[in-house]
Amino acid sequence: MKIAVENIKPTIGSIVRVDRSALLTDEVAQRCLELLDDRGVLVFPRIGLSDKEQLAFTDKLGARVNFTNRVPGGDSATQGVYTITLDPKINTEPEYVLGTYFWHMDGMTSPIPPPKASVLSARKVAAKGGQTEFASTFAAYQALPEEDKADIAKLRVMHTVVAAVREVATPESLDPQRRAMKHERPLVWTRKSGRKSMLIGYTADEVVGMSHAEGRALLARLLEWTAQQEFTYRHQWSEGDLVVWDNCGALHRVIPYATDSGRTMHRTSVAGVEAAT
Ligand SMILES: [Fe+2]
């Protein structure tokens, strides 16, 4: 198998070098799934996939899910592909992209199992900014003191769109349908394998059964803990790069970039297969 893997940091990330022609083989796809589980973030430098190839690779990793097809940019290039841009010609509701300047996981506010993985390719990069940062909630959870693990073991969190965009938009300015979007998730996410991570980030609005202040303080503390250098990786994009990450095991955010930068990314998503516990 023509695949070479180089780890980025001990807790997160691998660079995967593979021939574009071999990417869609069962053998490589299976290896990528194992690596994704183990490393959280996989970088395929300048692999240069077309939308069709990106969709085909996404399909090799699991069932495809398109929960952003009603957001501006959803299906705008190719059906099933979400175009992420601040270009006002494509994106008439920039707050959903501006909200991604803050740590989050994709699909948390939709009434679906949390998406397993996100697949993102760089079509045009910004001259300044636009890097994507990732933070492993697997590694961060594992490193928590046992007392904290016990305290959060049974907690549940309400994720809302209002919370996701709270730094960039008022609730009143949102489309009423999206303003109402919310979904409850366990704080600690347990895989069938027993491995645990945390479902946190800016979509996390309230801890169920806790006062607003206590819940928000806990969520902020867990987010700060997870964003430590040792659990994070910042990807500097080149055109044609493809990055796949474990959406329930890694937070992500983008470093701000200019509206007229032309930055254009194409995202596809792999559906979650494990129901919340
Ligand atoms: Fe995202």
Residue 14 maps to a domain: yes
Please give the pLDDT value at position 181: 92
**From the CA of 102, how far away is ligand 1's center (Å)?**
9
Å from CA of 106 to ligand 1 middle: 5
Give the chain's domain count.
1
pLDDT at 79: 81
85 in a structural domain: yes
User: Is residue 215, in this structure, part of any structural domain at all?
Assistant: yes
- State the helix-helix crossing angle for 26-39 and 51-61, rounded to 10 degrees: 70
CA of 144 to the centre of ligand 1 (A): 25
Residue 234 has a pLDDT of 98
H-only helix segments in 90-211: 95-98, 137-142, 146-152, 161-164, 176-179
Q: How remote is the CA of residue 101 from the centroid of ligand 1, in Å?
A: 9
- Class of residue 211 by CB neighbours under 10 A (exposed 0-12, middle 13-18, buried 19+): exposed
Cα 131 to ligand 1 centre (Å): 13
Its pTM stands at 0.94
Residue 9 lies in a domain: yes
Residues 255-264 as b or e (16 or more Cβ within 10 Å = b) = eebeeebbbb
Residue-range definition of the domain harbouring residue 29 = 3-268
What pLDDT is attached to residue 69? Answer: 59
CATH number of the CATH domain containing 55 = 3.60.130.10
Ion ligand 1: residue ranges with CB closer than 5 A = 100, 106
Spacing, Cα 132 to ligand 1 middle (Å): 10
Cα gap 256→124, rounded to integer Å: 15
Tell how far the Cα of 147 is from the centroid of ligand 1, in angstroms. 31
Assigned domain for 193 exists: yes
**From ligand 1's centre to the CA of 243, what distance in Å?**
12
Rounded Cα gap, residues 135 and 226, in angstroms: 6
> How confident is the prediction along the chain (277 residues), in pLDDT tens digits per residue?
689 999 999 999 999 999 988 999 999 999 999 999 999 999 999 999 999 999 999 999 999 987 665 666 666 667 889 999 998 888 877 888 899 999 999 999 998 889 999 999 999 999 999 999 999 999 999 999 999 999 999 999 999 999 999 998 899 988 888 899 999 999 999 988 899 999 999 999 999 999 999 999 999 999 999 999 999 999 999 999 999 999 999 999 999 999 999 999 999 999 998 765 4
Checking phi first, is residue 222 left (phi over 0); if not, alpha (psi -120 to 50) or beta?
alpha
Find the 252 Cα to ligand 1 centroid distance in Å: 6
Q: Which residues contact 171 (CB under 8 A, 6 or more apart)?
A: 162, 179
> CA 5, CA 230: separation in Å to the nearest integer?
20
Look at residue 276 in the predicted model and tell me its pLDDT: 53
Query: Does any domain span residue 275?
Result: no
Q: Are 4 and 32 in contact (CB under 8 A)?
A: no
